[in-house]
Amino acid sequence: MPKSYFKEYPNEKGYFGEFGGSFLPPHLEKEMNKVNDAYFAISKSHKFISELRSIRKHYQGRPTPVYYCNRLSEKYGGRIYLKREDLNHSGAHKLNHCMGEALLAKYMGKKKLIAETGAGQHGVALATAAAYFGLECEIHMGEVDMHKEHPNVVRMEILGAKVIPVSHGLKTLKEAVDSAFDAYVQDFENSLYCIGSVVGPHPFPMMVRDFQRVVGVEAKEQFFEMTGEQPDNVVACVGGGSNAMGIFSGFLEDEAATLYGVEPAGLSFKTGEHAATMTLGKPGIIHGFKCYVLQDDDGNPLPVYSVASGLDYPGVGPEHSMLKDLGMVNYVSVGDKEAIDAFYELSRLEGIIPALESAHAVAYAFKLAQENRHSSILVNLSGRGDKDIDFVVDKYGLPDV
């Protein structure tokens, strides 16, 4: 790829090749254009950049380390390294883009952040950012999800966010998106809608990618400092694709590393038992943008499932959709069972309990290590697994020591 990758993509209209763009009613389109203009005017200023840099260092605890896994590498072969986003404040990479979006809101003079949340991870990260900046925060969440993810509802409330229960339809993520968008439309002037991944209409996939780039920039430098080389392989899990775009951005322009995006294969490739959008989806439109979509013959999104609730989305970021078609990233999948095994392996051999989402990437790293015992593998460990411990032990039990 040309050295100018980030200048070239997305184009002015927010397209990554044929993907992305903005498919919205005119009044919303107008508002998104305003956000886009504000983003360009504000985010390139010295003041914004230095404030964000200071927040990352003093509040988030960046740079997060890169860690060499001694015992795992000995067991599986290869040289396995982790970029420790689980050590980022609040326990995952999501805070990287939430702090950026909230800082943008502050510079735009907004008083309130609005978002939807599925499993609650994005809601918690945004509530954290809102508390830091003294902004109001309104999180829309399906009643079914509120029940399933009760600890995250409590976390958001402790952090001072207002959690709005959504009680129509299936009472999950899709209805929460609609409800949050409605609330935003009612209150454009005072609020900013904050998307939780590299998805949605332009400019969100670009903004979230830009805010996550810090992960890849740090990781590339740290890996080189430790080894004197570039990694042979870089691996990240893909739900919407923000943590993957973060780490891939460090390695897209020089093509030295082979990049792998890992999707959830769930229980099987039967409809409703996985969320392998790149593997089995077709180009389509969802939530106001074009990307690969798991869809029926009429273009309606299909039901999705993964043991990792942060990965079960029937669409995927437009940039990933393009990178797949350009052959710049390999998209592969890992099922529930392998992810659970990797969850316990990383816990017991390295003392690191990973998020179930991240465990998908770790499981694929084991495969690469076993295939080529001489290669180096850098995994983006997107988050910590505290949120998953009760569920995993209840459902799968503890393996023998």
Ligand X SMILES: *Cc1c(COP(=O)(O)O)cnc(C)c1O
Q: Which 20-79 residues touch ligand X, going by CB under 6 A?
A: none
**β pairing state of 258-266 and 289-293:** unpaired
Phi, then psi, of 40 in degrees rounded to 5: -65, -40
Pick between residue 92 and residue 102 the one whose CB is nearest to ligand X: 92
Asked if 334 touches ligand X (CB under 6 A), the answer is no
Burial of 325 (0-12, 13-18, 19+ CB in 10 A): middle
Pick between residue 106 and residue 129 the one whose CB is nearest to ligand X: 129
Tell me if the bond preceding 63 is cis, omega within 30° of 0.
Answer: yes
C-beta atoms surrounding 162 within 10 Å? 14
CB 319 within 8 A of CB 241: yes
Q: How many residues lie near ligand X (CB under 6 A)?
A: 19
Asked if 329 touches ligand X (CB under 6 A), the answer is no
Among 306, 318, 375, smallest CA distance to 119 is for: 306
Pick between residue 358 and residue 376 the one whose CB is nearest to ligand X: 358
CB 42 within 8 A of CB 108: yes
What SS3 class is residue 191? strand
Give the pair of three-digit tokens for residue 70.
């001694």
- Catalogue the active-site residues: 69, 93
Task: To the nearest 10°, report the CA torsion of 179, 105, 52, 84.
Answer: 0
Residue 236 C-beta: closest distance to ligand X, Å: 7
Q: Which 136-175 residues touch ligand X, going by CB under 6 A?
A: none
Pick between residue 197 and residue 321 the one whose CB is nearest to ligand X: 197
Look up tokens 């970021």; give the residue: 317
Residue 116 C-beta: closest distance to ligand X, Å: 13
Residue 301 C-beta: closest distance to ligand X, Å: 17
Which residue type, as a one-letter code, is found at position 117?
T
Asked if 128 touches ligand X (CB under 6 A), the answer is no
Which residue type, as a one-letter code, is found at position 130?
A
Residue 352 C-beta: closest distance to ligand X, Å: 13
Asked if 239 touches ligand X (CB under 6 A), the answer is yes
> In whole angstroms, how far apart are CA 4 and each of 9, 252, 369?
9, 10, 32
Pick between residue 128 and residue 382 the one whose CB is nearest to ligand X: 382
Q: Which of 78, 310, 318, 335 binds ligand X (CB under 6 A)?
A: 310
Site string for ligand X, 93-112 (x = CB under 6 A): -x------------------
Task: Give the range of 105-113, 126-134, 351-359, 388-396 binding ligand X by CB under 6 A.
Answer: 351-359
Asked if 318 touches ligand X (CB under 6 A), the answer is no
Asked if 92 touches ligand X (CB under 6 A), the answer is yes
Q: Which of 197, 233, 277, 295 binds ligand X (CB under 6 A)?
A: 197
Residue 243 C-beta: closest distance to ligand X, Å: 3
349-378 as b/e, with b when 16 or more CB fall inside 10 Å? bbebbbbbbbbbbbbbbbbbbeeeeebbbb
Site string for ligand X, 378-397 (x = CB under 6 A): ----xx--------------
With a CB cutoff of 8 Å and minimum separation 6, the contacts of 259 are 233, 234, 235, 248, 251, 252, 323, 328, 329, 330
Q: Which of 231, 241, 266, 335 binds ligand X (CB under 6 A)?
A: 241
Residue 135 C-beta: closest distance to ligand X, Å: 21
Pick between residue 79 and residue 392 the one whose CB is nearest to ligand X: 392
Among 300, 172, 167, 306, smallest CA distance to 239 is for: 306
Task: Give the range of 220-228, 236-244, 295-303, 390-398 binding ligand X by CB under 6 A.
Answer: 236-244
CB 61 within 8 A of CB 356: no
What SS3 class is residue 84? strand
Residue 37 C-beta: closest distance to ligand X, Å: 25
Pick between residue 73 and residue 88 the one whose CB is nearest to ligand X: 88
What SS3 class is residue 302? coil
Q: Which 266-295 residues touch ligand X, going by CB under 6 A?
A: none
- Provide the 8-state DSSP code for 251: T
Asked if 121 touches ligand X (CB under 6 A), the answer is yes
**Residue with smallest beta-carbon separation from ligand X:** 383
Residue 212 C-beta: closest distance to ligand X, Å: 8
Q: Please give the residue ranges that form the binding site for ligand X (CB under 6 A).
A: 92, 94, 121, 197, 237-244, 310-311, 355, 357-358, 382-383
